């Protein structure tokens, strides 16, 4: 970028915008969870662990979201 920005002393029109975003407490989804034991193949578990590591996530949360997504799309 060879062109420099030329600033002027023009008046700035500013206005206050009310806070329309929800509070952080309202963004947390607290669903009731129940602990279960599941047996997965090594291939499946390795897939989720690698994907989770790549995206900086928990493999258990990824599996839980996958199951939740499946259930949400199966409701009649």
pLDDT per position as a tens digit, 4-18: 888 888 888 888 888
* Residue 14 falls inside a structural domain: no
Q: What is the CATH number of the domain that holds 40?
A: 1.10.1220
Instruction: Look at the chain and report how many structural domains it folds into.
Output: 1
Number of continuous H segments (helices) and E segments (strands) in the chain: 3, 0
Residue 40, pLDDT score: 96
Helices 59-72 + 42-55 axis angle, to 10? 100
Predicted structure pTM score: 0.59
Write out the H or E segment, with its range, that includes residue 64. Answer: helix 59-72
Average pLDDT over the chain reads 87
* Residue 58 falls inside a structural domain: yes
pLDDT at 55 exceeding the cut of 80: yes
Joined tokens for residue 62? 């990824």
* Residue 24 falls inside a structural domain: no
* Residue 4 falls inside a structural domain: no
pLDDT at 1 exceeding the cut of 70: no
Residue 21, pLDDT score: 78
Query: Residue 51 sits in which domain range?
Result: 30-72
* Residue 8 falls inside a structural domain: no
Per-residue model confidence as pLDDT tens digits over 56-76: 999 999 999 999 889 888 866
């Amino acid at each position: 970028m060879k062109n420099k920005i030329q600033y002027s002393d023009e008046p700035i029109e500013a206005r206050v915008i009310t806070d329309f975003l929800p509070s952080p407490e309202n963004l947390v989804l607290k669903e009731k969870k129940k602990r279960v034991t599941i047996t997965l193949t090594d291939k499946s578990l390795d897939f989720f662990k690698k994907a989770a590591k790549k995206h900086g996530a928990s493999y258990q949360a990824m599996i839980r979201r996958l199951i939740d997504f499946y259930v949400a799309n199966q409701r009649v």
